[in-house]
Amino acid sequence: MSEYTATALARANIALAKYWGKSDVALNLPAVPSISITLEPMRTETTVRFAASLQQDALVLNGKPADEKALKRASKVLDQVRAIAKLDLKARVESANNFPTASGLASSASGFAALVAASWSAAGMARDNERWSALSRQASASAARSIYGGFVELPKGIPGDATLSAKPIAPPAHWDVRIVVAVANEGAKDVGSTEGMTLSERTSPYYRAWVDCSDALAAEVRAGILARDLVKVGEAMEQSTLAMHACMMASRPGLIYLQPATLAALATVKRLRKEGVQVYATMDAGPHVKALCHADDAERVAKALADTQLVLRTLTAHPGPDLEIRK
């Protein structure tokens, strides 16, 4: 047979304890532990087809041929899978997201997780969550977390440890929370996370302080998840988020991902809290605000955020399942 194909369905994830900074750039190991929720229904579906008829790798993203940079990153993943599978065929990759790409909505996380799992499966190898997670992590550390459903931790990496993978903390049914995303704009971000992290490490006077506070914040988030304590998780998540953004902003030149819509949405979250709703906010390397709340409050939170000036729209997600393969 000269054609092998498989499809993977991965969900985006949102970090409650944030990752920013690398302890080993070559192996792409995080300098801090991070903890996330896997988000349903924010999905990437990726089909990989290895075929003897292909002269080179090709990548189609959301229906359009991807640029050189994206193709190179995908080929790097494919090369690793081909080396493990001892497969010498080029691949055609088709990948589509049902949420905005590359704007701080974690499309690289679900994208790389789906690419690793689809290419691995297309190459005829059996499911291996740990290896999928470690391979995904090398492409984009947050992607390591999208292999698993529910609540997931990626420990910080010890330089040289190529095997670091994420680990599930609790399954999706453990805690019925919601993440309401307030979409602030639909464009791609200016400075990607790898470039941004390197800049912060090199130039931000707050980088050390950020790394130093990350273990305690992750421990608080982990304990809060296990105890289903939204206030505990929410307070630690907001501090982790704002400490990360303070570190980003103090880089040279400053990395400012937050926009007017972000601050407006944050004010709405604060007002809702004053009104007695347990709701907390987080932002990644982009302007969107993601609000964590109980399932019963999600409608009220979504309405308040949708009615906030400059917020374009909202989408609501809940803890999603493990990555799925469709042969």
The residue (of 81 and 244) whose beta carbon lies closer to ligand PMV is: 244
Is 68 buried (19+), middle (13-18) or exposed (0-12) by CB count in 10 A?
exposed
At closest approach, how far in Å is the CB of 327 from ligand PMV? 28
CB 48 within 8 A of CB 146: no
* Cβ-based neighbours of 191, under 8 Å, separated by 6 or more: 199, 255, 285
The residue (of 5 and 194) whose beta carbon lies closer to ligand PMV is: 194
At closest approach, how far in Å is the CB of 56 from ligand PMV? 26
At closest approach, how far in Å is the CB of 18 from ligand PMV? 5
At closest approach, how far in Å is the CB of 124 from ligand PMV? 28
Among candidate residues 8, 37, 10, 6, the one with its CA nearest the CA of residue 110: 10
Residues that bind ligand PMV (CB under 6 A): 15, 18-20, 34, 108, 140-142, 193-194, 284-285
At closest approach, how far in Å is the CB of 154 from ligand PMV? 8
In order, the DSSP letters of 161-202 are -TT---EEEE-GGG--EEEEEEE---SPPSS-HHHHHHHHHH
CB 290 within 8 A of CB 107: no
Q: Which two tokens stand for residue 310?
A: 């400059």
What is the distance, to the nearest Å, from the Cα of residue 285 to the centroid of all Cα atoms in its chain?
Answer: 10
The residue (of 123 and 147) whose beta carbon lies closer to ligand PMV is: 147
The residue (of 34 and 121) whose beta carbon lies closer to ligand PMV is: 34
At closest approach, how far in Å is the CB of 309 from ligand PMV? 25
The residue (of 167 and 300) whose beta carbon lies closer to ligand PMV is: 167
3-class SS of residue 316: strand
- Sign of the dihedral defined by the CA atoms of residues 28, 41, 325, 128, in that order: positive
The residue (of 144 and 301) whose beta carbon lies closer to ligand PMV is: 144
Q: Which two tokens stand for residue 290?
A: 């993601």
